[in-house]
């Protein structure tokens, strides 16, 4: 996965962790174990009957073995989705 992540350096990314947590931030770096460093990181907490809650985390390190998905964020689309209500993502069970 590491060579693919090079194209996302200095871009806004969306990360889903194994425990179902959702993070959005600017990818500053990564290593061969897919550990990620996110800048201006937010954790998004989804609720079925309330808007998304955003927790400011600042600079955040995510361990590679806890990452399920990494994708680039379209900032304009992301801003227009602030009032979304959704069920939280269940943890991955293996």
pLDDT in tens, 69-81: 999 998 877 777 6
At residue 94 the predicted structure's pLDDT band, cuts being 50, 70 and 90, is low
pLDDT in tens, 12-69: 999 999 999 999 999 999 999 999 999 999 999 988 888 888 999 999 999 999 999 9
Nearest Cα neighbor of 43 from 19, 64, 76, 7 is 19
Residue ranges of domains in the chain, CATH in brackets: 2-78 (2.30.30.100)
Quote the longest CA-to-CA distance of the chain: 40
pLDDT, position 74: 85
CB 28 within 8 Å of CB 35: no
């Amino acid at each position: 996965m590491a060579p693919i992540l090079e194209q996302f350096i200095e871009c806004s990314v969306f990360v889903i962790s194994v425990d179902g947590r959702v993070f959005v931030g600017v990818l500053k770096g990564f290593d061969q174990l897919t550990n990620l460093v996110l800048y201006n990181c937010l954790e998004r907490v989804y609720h079925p009957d309330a808007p998304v809650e955003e927790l400011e985390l600042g600079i955040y390190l995510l361990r590679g073995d806890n990452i399920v998905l990494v994708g680039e964020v379209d900032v304009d689309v992301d801003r227009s989705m602030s009032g979304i209500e959704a069920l939280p993502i269940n943890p991955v069970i293996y």
